[in-house]
Structure 1
Amino acid sequence: MKLGQWSRDLAMGVRFAFTGGREGWVRALLTAVGVGLGVALLLLTTAIPNALSVRNDRSSSRDDFTYNGKVLPKADDTLVIARTDTTFRDDDVRGRLLEPDGARAPLPPGVGKFPAKGEMVVSPALDSLLKSGSGKLLRDRLPYRVTGTIGQSGLVGPAELAYYAGADGLENQLAGGNVERITYFGPAAGNKSEPLDPVLLLLVLMIFIVLLMPVGVFIAAAVRFGGERRDRRLAALRLVGADGRMVRRIAGGEALAGALLGLVLGTGFFLAGRQLAGLLKVRNISVFPSDLNPSAALAVLVAVAVPAAAVLVTLFALRGVVIEPLGVVRTTRPPRRRLWWRLLLPLGGLGMLYPMIGQGNGNGNFNQWLVIGGTVLLLVGVTALLPWVVEAVVARLNSGSVAWQLAVRRLQLSSGTAARMVNGIAVAVAGAIALQMLFAGVEGDYTKQTANDLNRAQMEVSLRGDVQLGEAGRELARTEGVRHASAVSLSSLGNRAKNPDNELEVAAGSCAELREVARLTSCKDGDVFSILGGDYGSETKKLAQPGSTLYFGPSYDGMETHPAAWKVPAGMKTAGPREDPTGYARGGLLITSGALPAAAAESLNQKVFVTLDRSVPDATDHARNTAARLDPLANVFTLAASEQSKQFRSIRTGLLVGATCVLLLIGASLLVSQLEQLRERKKLLSALVAFGTRRRTLSLSVLWQTAIPIGLGLALASTVGLTLGSVLLKMTGSSVRLDWMSVLSMAGIGAGVVLLVTLLSLPPLLRLMRPDGLRTE
């Protein structure tokens, strides 16, 4: 067949789509909307890598801590910066205090000039929060006047909460870990991002496959909207001399027209969605609309692949349809579908995944092409098996109510149409079940239990030494929402004032406070204790000899501190080690307040363990406000029973964002598909109403027509999802355990989407059920 003949036939089909009257336009528009929704999500997916890359670049460009332990000398081009990150309710707030050393000090990205002392520049999102009624507690924590906003180049997303505030005296805190002198903003030399391990790479790969497969299925279903009416129109072409192959190519041209229009609508949907993306925030993740720019190569691939797929799907769908001059041979009883070739797809997928069982982190990376091919074949197997399952089941359904019989008879005549409508959601549910199993199976490898005792404390607050001894504990204990606060002052003792060879930990406080970190038999103010036992007992006994001189807060090269000499007293008592609420058992010395020399106060830092009253709203934020008032550089940690890998957590967040987009697509596409089905049955519904059929009966029949295929689809999806999930767990070396709650929740979400779509389609259904629908031209 010459290429010219193909071009002429396809072009004729495109003309029929746009010049075939109202019927052709409606079908083209329905196809375009369905395809457009899929194209929009494909463009969004192709834009995600660029968005993540741009976010990472902006985040790296504002890096300001090298953590190399060196203190740079003061110069005209240096800046002293302090990290003051905090949390407000569930949102992280990035904070920095700035003190330029000279006129050429580096400016942070997105900041036009340094804020003066007592002033700050903020992100637009933080500015809105501080001006709102819900931001009152945070305003109390940030006692600075807002004088400007941070530009986009200094933020990772539009919803980020961030500020830069002016300060002075930061140079005196350079010995602390929260303050550093820098000469530039940007990644430190030699700092490289940690690569993903094989299991996390597998998770990322699976997420893309599982999220994109339903999109492809929906696009393939969308180009077949209105197929029965189109085929009846094509029968007329046989009367004027067109052969069977020619009308199939013309049908492909009609689908091509809808796909091309769908590309235009999809681009519009994407541009509109991109603007809305700037208003959304999922788990503290947000993106600027300008970040969502699809790769040119991937965008061209979508523009070429979608129309080509539309033509191929149409030709494939018409392979068993006989279009004759006097009608379409489709309403007769179709031949029974064959099962054997449908089973080859999932079996082939399992065969491709089998060689990688047992690899994982210990045996190298997975073969990405085998993973993609095997997973795609398994999920495509759902779309191949579902029509056979629906046909086999509905053929055995007989007696029941009138609504039931109407639904069953319709399904028996067009089980393929019903299966196509459900295919997308079945694929999505199967993939989601497999992903949930994989996440649950490997979660333990990326989650570690902490030693925190949450019965003793839920927060830990660390403050600098210029806070008076015991003041932090008393202030926090009086804070709203705090049940109990226990403070202990910490420092170190060295055998020399500068560059000591050996150091000991030292903790100071009242007897009650010291009992939180050690086991004391008897205690009174003025006592000094040596902690024996544990990992540090022998070192303590060797260094802390009675009469020897030790130095509080010894200094090292590059540090300007004032060590205080202290003579170890005779008659020290002994204490046993005890884990504090964070699970740390310290060694060294314990000194009660009465025995602590006044000169040592400068080297002490206070640590407060806080027990909260969870019945008080915002108890955590009240405690954070008190800590910030006592020390703007305070470190506040919320104690948790477990900690999870940041990479694992970010991947799971990405899955949540992607799954939300796919669910929206599923709902919208199902609604369009349902409306198209109702439109094709308009005359049939009107005839049944004219003959006296109750509207309630017809509504129930439409519900059954949706419920039966979706029930079968979810059952098949659960089977395939459990199989794929088990194989993936075997591949990662994890034990296989069936998470029935995940299976039921995923199936429930899928059923809920279908139920919602069915309810939304009832109003147009009621409008179609009128006798005047029998009118024709």
Structure 2
Amino acid sequence: MSTLGEQLPPQRERAWKRAAADLALGARFAVSGGREGWVRMTLTGVGVGLGVALLLLCTALPNVFAARHRVEEARFDNTFVSSDKVPPKADDTFLIADTDTTWHDDDIRGRLVEPEGRRAPLPPGVDGYPAKGEMVVSPALRDLLASDGAALLRARLPYEITGTIGESGLIGSHELAYYAGASGLNPTDGSPVHRLNRYGRPDSPDPSDTASEETDPVLLLMILVVFVVLLAPVAVFIAAAVRFGGERRDRRLAALRLIGSDSRMTRRIAAGEALAGALLGLVVGAGFFLLGRQTLGSTEVLGVSVWPGYLDPSPALAALVAVAIPVAAVLVTLLAMRGVVVEPLGVVRAARQRRRRLWWRLLPPLAGLAMLYPSIGKGRDNGDYNTYLVTGGVLLLLTGITALLPWVVEAAVDRLGKGPLSWQLAVRRLQLSSGTAARMVNGIAVAVAGAIALQMLFTGTQSQYVKATGQDPGRVQMEVDFSDRKPLSGVERAFTGTKGVRAAVALAMSQYGDARRDPKNTNGLTVGSCTALRELATLPSCKDGDVFVTRTRSGYTDTRNDAEIAVVKPGRRLYIDPSYGDATERGLEAPWTVPANVRVVDARKDSLGDANSLLVTPAALPAEAAPALYSAGVYLRLDPAVSGSREYVRNVVARIDPLAHDYSWSATQEDAMYASVRTGLFVGSAFVLALIGASLLVSQLEQLRERRKLLSALVAFGTRRRTLSLSVLWQTALPVGLGLVLAATVGVSLGTVLLKMTRTPVAMDWSSVLTMTGVGAAVVAVVTLLSLPPLLRMMRPDGLRTE
């Protein structure tokens, strides 16, 4: 293998060696510059480290998704399988039933299990099947049950805890889950109990399931934009962090020019200093990430938790971060040095700069719009969006803020002047170093712009993923579906006497026909008390024993039920639960004579559920027909004044039927994938906001450290601390205000383009724009308040001492 000297001409080889030596010299200056050098290195390392930690977290996301998916697949026990796939009872089969419940706003995954043989496979993370009356629980559920406020939940889960579910059976450290032992489970047709011989998703899934998992192109676009919007501020902050201490560094480089170094050498030495800070930032970032990795394993963010082992970065992406950060530090420093003339007797940057040009600063956002233009009008029916064009376009639009903001700040402060002394000090400082002020605000402006664009996109497309259910939560708050037949009167009494329940309506259903076997005319009937039937139809009067047939039918487009009215005639003999020739079991075939008091009524337009046309009160049916009735649900109206009324209801449900399910009524239903993307955005935004706050604080402290001697000199000459404090606040407030205005402009523009790409009408939600802008301003305000104590400590005359 040839050496580098054999590959390169001698002149180029010497140039490479000189460049490497200059970089190494700059790194030596960074680590051996005394207290000032170490402070500068520390600030740079912390600033870069915060960004690196978040980038490493992002590189771990693929593994997080993959790990959670593996657990979901491994413990998959979907009981909705066709009868031809149900295994016969054997030594390796088990019975399982879904007993999920809810505790306030937290979902609890529950299963009743009963092994049918010694070789029945164990659920993932479980060492052995619990016996009847026992359960194994997740660590989070164990802690919740042991808490003081969980008395109702303990009553709902009256099992003895005998074990803990391991990490391999849980998707997160805070997941609430349990497996309870049972006996006598009966896997009949229509029962929620099913027989399986394995855990895990079948090798050949149902084609309908696969089709349902196809992701909408608009949702894929949202996911892509979310990642770009969350990562763009991180890159901006890292680029700003490697330039910490730039003014002091340039003054040191002037001394190097005095002893003979040329301009190229000084740039390379400066790049070496930045490289050292970036390498330290990688180490600090790795430490922050490991600390955060352990912390995230024991916390929950917006209902999402993970295990520390899930947060292992992808090796390829982690290596990319490790290489990209130092290279970016060198390139950013070399680019920044092009605008600074370091001479042997000083730095020309301290003089009046020429005005910044606008034309080239408009090129990045215009190029971004050009890259997004081909996708305008694409919608969801024309295939997936071009990933590279969308990523590049959104990045150029957002990062174009970093090019525009210095020009905006300079143009604005050049027109400012008269005002109080604190105002004049702030304006003069901004006129001399508008670029430094803009760098501090760049990150928050990019973050706010991206947040506004995403908020517009989510708000505009919300109607496509949030559908009306037709339910009226003002009328019914909860619905309960039982797993088997329950007596109507007993069910209604159980719920009516429950704390927090104002009213309970129970319904049952069955089938009738005009013959015992293979009837020509057959239909369904609904059974309920007069109170219950009034929730389905408009009844002139009602008493137990009455029968009604509705003219109109709830949930159907036909306006009359002539056929059914013709069948249900007074005195006609019908049969409840008739039999059919191809049925494996015979029906009840209970004879029933239609009473003479049958009346024709109108169904309510807001009828509860999809009621049948034949409505019967319990006394109108023969006693032998009772076994043919199955529960059609219990509808509950709750008392809003009773706190925790839903928990009381769930306890009653668990006592009556552990396999029943309760549902809270809602006027709308949200697409699960859409909700997941939005939750991911909220979680990511929380981390980015934390990074923004921490990085801004570090940047603010670095700026105060740069001006320590100036502040001390002004105090020594008699300037009041209040005046200096206000001047520092103005120096922060002016660039922040200008940055937020620019961010709102770019964010609205990007949001409009994204809506046009998804073929969604553009409607401005100004409240969301103001909210996002206010959040950015609030973060800056908190950082400014946190920087006041060190500012006051720096405003002392003894700060003029030097060595």
Q: TM-score, normalised by structure 1?
A: 0.96
Q: 1:143: Cα distance to partner?
A: 1.3
Find the counterpart in structure 2 of residue 198 from structure 1: 217
The reply to whether residue 15 of structure 1 matches residue 28 of structure 2 is yes
Distance 1:47 1:556, change over 3 A: farther
State whether structure 2 residue 126 is matched by structure 1 residue 98: no
1:425-450: CA deviation from partner (whole Å, max 9, x where unpaired): 00000000000000000000001111
Give 1:571 deviation, angstroms.
Answer: 3.3
Q: Cα distance, 1:775 vs. partner? A: 0.5
Q: Secondary structure at the match of 1:279?
A: coil
Give the counterpart letter for 1:693 in structure 2. Answer: T
Name whichever of 318-327 and 676-685 sits farther off.
318-327
How far does the alpha carbon of each residue in 1:53-108 deviate from its partner, in whole angstroms, 9 at most, with x for none? 11112112211124234254322222111111111101111111112222222221
Q: 1:185 aligns with which of 192, 199, 202?
A: 199
Amino acid at match of 1:488: L
Q: Partner of 1:550: helix, strand, or coil?
A: strand
Q: Is the 8 A contact 2:517 2:578 kept in 1?
A: no
Match status 1:119 vs 2:134: yes
Deviations 1:18-49, CA, capped at 9 Å, x for gaps: 11212211111111100000000000011112
Residues 156-165 or 483-492, more deviating: 483-492
Counterpart of 2:564 in structure 1 is: 540
CA gap of 1:137–1:66, structure 2 versus 1, over 3 A, is closer
SS in 1 for 2:304: coil
Structure 2 matches for 1:70-109, cutoff 5 A? 70=83, 72-109=87-124
Asked if 1:50 is matched to 2:63, the reply is yes
Q: Quick check: 1:565 aligned with 2:590?
A: yes
- Structure 1: state its 5+ residue gaps: none
- Aligned AA (1:320): G
> How many angstroms does 1:263 deviate by?
0.3
Judge conservation of contact 2:712–2:797 (CA < 8 Å) in 1. Answer: yes
Query: 1:103–1:36: structure 2 CA closer, same or farther, 3 Å change rule?
Result: same
Of residues 613, 629, 642, the one that matches 1:616 is 642
Q: Tell me how far 1:589 sits from its aligned partner.
A: 2.6
Separation (CA, whole Å) in 1 of partners of 2:163 and 2:145:
13
Q: Distance in 2 between matches of 1:47 and 1:501?
A: 63
| Aligned counterpart for 1:696 among listed residues 722, 726, 746 | 722
How many residue pairs are counted as aligned between the two chains?
776
**SS of residue paired to 1:480:** coil
Q: Is the 8 Å Cα contact of residues 452 and 582 (structure 1) preserved in structure 2?
A: no
Match of 1:307 in 2: 326
* 2:687 paired with 1:661: yes
Which residue of 190, 198, 201 corresponds with 1:176?
Answer: 190
Q: Is the Cα contact below 8 Å between 2:73 and 2:200 reproduced in 1?
A: yes
1:561-617 alpha-carbon deviations (Å, 9 max, x no partner)? 863523343536134353586753422432222233334333433321100111111
Tell me which residue corresponds to 1:271: 290
Q: Aligned partners of 1:137 and 1:531: how far apart in 2?
A: 42
The one-letter code sitting in structure 2 at the alignment partner of 1:621 is: E
Contact 1:63 1:186 in 2 (8 A): yes
Change in CA separation of 1:574 and 1:170 when aligned onto 2, cut-off 3 Å: farther
Amino acid at match of 1:467: K
8 A contact 1:530–1:572 mirrored in 2: no
SS at match of 2:119: coil
Q: 2:641 corresponds to which letter in structure 1?
A: S
Greater mean alpha carbon deviation, residues 343-352 or residues 671-680: 343-352
Do the aligned partners of residues 83 and 603 (structure 1) sit closer, same or farther apart at CA in structure 2, a change above 3 Å counting?
A: farther
* Alpha-carbon separation, structure 1, partners of 2:491 and 2:508: 10
Question: Are residue 153 (structure 1) and residue 168 (structure 2) matched?
Answer: yes
Correspondence for 1:592? 617
Distance between the aligned counterparts of 1:603 and 1:179, measured in 2?
20
- For 2:746 and 2:503, locate their aligned partners in 1 and report how far apart those are by CA, in whole Å: 53
Q: What residue number does 2:6 align with?
A: none
CA contact (8 A) 1:527 1:591 kept: yes
Query: Match of 1:170, SS?
Result: coil
SS at match of 2:488: coil
- Identify if the C-alpha distance between structure 1 residues 383 and 332 changes in structure 2 by more than 3 Å, giving closer, same or farther: same
Aligned counterpart in structure 1 of residue 181 of structure 2, from 138, 141, 166: 166
- Are 1:685 and 2:698 counterparts? no
Alignment correspondent of 1:732: 758
Task: Give the whole-Å Cα distance in 1 for the aligned partners of 2:657 and 2:327.
Answer: 65
Partner residue, 1:601: 626
Counterparts of 1:412-491 in structure 2, within 5 Å, are: 412-491=431-510
Rounded to whole Å, the distance in 2 between the matches of 1:554 and 1:406 is 94
Conservation of the 8 A alpha-carbon contact between 1:465 and 1:602:
no
Aligned position for 1:508:
527
Shift in alpha-carbon separation, 1:239–1:117, aligned structure 2, 3 A:
same
Match of 2:5 in 1: none
What is the CA–CA distance in structure 1 between the aligned matches of 2:278 and 2:521, rounded to whole Å?
A: 75
Alpha-carbon distance in 2 for matches of 1:525, 1:229: 93
Q: Secondary structure of the equivalent of 1:360?
A: coil
When residues 55 and 482 of structure 1 are mapped into structure 2, their CA distance, relative to the original with a 3 A threshold, is: same
Cα deviation, residue 640, structure 1: 0.3
3-state SS of paired residue (1:361) = coil
Deviations 1:706-726 (A, max 9, x none): 000000000000000000101
1:133 aligns to what SS in structure 2? coil
Aligned mate of 2:412, from 356, 371, 393? 393
Structure 1 partner of 2:380: 361
Instruction: Please name the residue that 1:5 is paired with.
Output: 18
Is the 8 Å Cα contact of residues 122 and 164 (structure 1) preserved in structure 2?
A: yes
Alpha-carbon separation, structure 2, partners of 1:555 and 1:775: 102
State the 1:514 CA deviation: 2.0
Q: How does 1:682-761 map to 2 (within 5 A)?
A: 682-761=708-787
Partner SS state of residue 485, structure 1: strand
User: How high is the TM-score relative to the length of structure 2?
Assistant: 0.93
Q: Residue 269 of structure 2: which of 239, 242, 250 is its match?
A: 250
Question: How far apart, CA to CA, are the structure 2 residues paired with 1:296 and 1:690?
Answer: 55
| SS across alignment from 2:527 | strand
Q: 1:553 to 1:260 in 2, by over 3 A?
A: farther
Q: Offset of 1:538 from its aligned partner?
A: 4.8
- The superposition leaves residues 120-174 of structure 1 with CA deviations (integer Å, 9 ceiling, x where unpaired) of 1111111101100121111111111111111111111111111111112321x53
> How far does residue 559 in structure 1 lie from its aligned partner after superposition?
7.0
Contact 2:515-2:578 at 8 Å conserved across structures: no
AA in 1 matched with 2:683: V
Change (3 A) 1:557 1:100: farther
Code of the aligned partner of 2:61: I
Alignment correspondent of 1:675: 701
In the alignment, the residues of structure 2 paired with residue 82 and residue 302 of structure 1 have an alpha-carbon distance, to the nearest angstrom, of 47
Specify whether residues 319 and 556 from structure 1 end up closer, same or farther in structure 2 by C-alpha distance, changes over 3 A only.
farther
Q: Which residue of 1 aligns with 2:257?
A: 238
Measure the CA separation in 1 of the matches of 2:403 and 2:581: 71
Deviations along 1:730-776, one digit per CA (max 9) or x if unpaired, are: 11111111111111111111111111101000111111111001111
Q: CA offset at residue 177 of structure 1?
A: 5.2
Select between 260-269 and 465-474 the one with higher mean Cα deviation.
Answer: 465-474
The CA deviation string for residues 195-252 of structure 1, in whole angstroms up to 9 with x for no partner, is 2211101110110010000000000000000001011111121222211101100110
The unaligned stretches of length 5 or more in structure 2 are 1-11
Asked if 2 retains the 8 angstrom alpha-carbon contact of 1:386 and 1:713, the reply is yes
Distance change >3 Å, CA 321–CA 499, structure 1 → 2: farther
* Contact 1:450/1:640 (8 A) holds in 2: yes
